[in-house]
Amino acid sequence: MLSVQLGAAASTPLIGSLGAAGAAWLRLSWAALIFVLIARPRLFEMAHRDLLDAILLGMVSAGMTLLFFAAIARIPLATAVACEFLGPLAVAVVRRSGRHGLIWPTLAGAGVLLVTQPWQAVVDLLGVGYALGAALCWAGYIVFTQRVGHRIAGLSGLAISMPVAALVAAVVAAPQSLHRVTPDAVVVAAGLALLLPVIPYALELLALRRLETAAFGTLMSVEPVVALVVGVVVLGQVPRPIQAVGVLFITVAATGAARSPARPMPVAQPTQLKERTQSVPS
């Protein structure tokens, strides 16, 4: 989380020179190159289903990166992350259940309203829209990262998904940003790509191999707070007290949703149990 937010904050000059899409494209391109050199995936040895999941992961990763960068180019970092965090929250709510399960989306919605304050004339609704789009992609990112992490060994899954993400980003960014790319920007993007997405994507893949998505969501629930602190310290984006309360609401909602009782596992029918018993040698 710290790597993600520092990488996002440090991207401000690059976004200013290349645009949000151009900055995202260069970073994803470097990430693709790094993961391919490290993992060297053997595509012909992989099942078609695994390859499809890795490709889908690349597509949602591209969408998440492009939309998030577009959001932070228009609204404060903490505001963008607070809206984007509705994605992991949605995953936690779907994967968990309980009598009070609807409390958490309601609390998170109230938090987003406090953070974005749509009743203020100064709010950038397009920036908020970009962040909400990134939230949808982040939900898909969590689901597909867990699938890819369980089915494809090492970092090979990322070595497939990142080139896909870079290609998707190129379709969006190249027409508007290619003429603005300079050698200095390429070098800067290489360093920033390590902070985001190389290090966090690799660590999240490893984490989701060991954690349920709900437990992962619990740990990630402090990301809006991390974004708020980084925004204040690095970018000088001091939130209003009501916005800080909104970030707290979202964090509490994410933690509560992820820690709610899990959905019950389906129980085998008696006929199935009988068949299994009969199949065991005496």
For 53-91, write each residue's pLDDT tens digit: 999 999 999 999 999 999 999 999 999 999 998 998 888
Q: For position 272, what pLDDT does the model report?
A: 38
Report helix, strand or coil for 262. strand
Question: 264 versus 181: which is more confidently predicted?
Answer: 181
State which amino acid sits at residue 17.
Answer: S
Out of 25-39, 43-57, 241-255, least confident range: 241-255
Distance of CA 121 to the CA centre of its chain: 29
Paired tokens of 177: 């940003």
Q: How far is CA 206 from CA 136, 148, 158, 185, in A?
A: 22, 10, 11, 30
Gap between the Cα atoms of 114 and 137, Å rounded: 23
Most confident of 77-91, 165-179, 207-221, 261-275: 165-179
Reply yes or no on whether the pLDDT at 280 is more than 50: no
Cα angle at 69 between 104 and 5, to 5 degrees?
65
Q: Is the distance from CB of 173 to CB of 46 less than 8 angstroms?
A: no
Residue of 201, 142, 180 lying closest to 25 (CA atoms): 180
Q: For position 90, what pLDDT does the model report?
A: 85
Gap between the Cα atoms of 266 and 282, Å rounded: 28
Report helix, strand or coil for 96. strand
Pinpoint the alpha helices (H) of 152-269: 156-177, 183-193, 199-210, 213-220, 223-235, 241-258
State which amino acid sits at residue 107.
Answer: L
Q: Is 181 exposed, middle or buried (0-12, 13-18, 19+ CB in 10 A)?
A: middle
Q: How confident is the model at residue 153 (pLDDT cuts 50, 70, 90)?
A: very high
Return the residue matching tokens 């310290």.
233
Given CA atoms 60, 19, 201, 166 in this order, what sign does their dihedral have? positive
The reply to whether the predicted model has a pTM over 0.75 is yes
Q: Is the distance from CB of 103 to CB of 57 less than 8 angstroms?
A: no
Report the run of H or E that residue 25 belongs to, with start and end. helix 12-39
Gap between the Cα atoms of 24 and 63, Å rounded: 10
Q: For position 220, what pLDDT does the model report?
A: 84
Gap between the Cα atoms of 145 and 201, Å rounded: 9
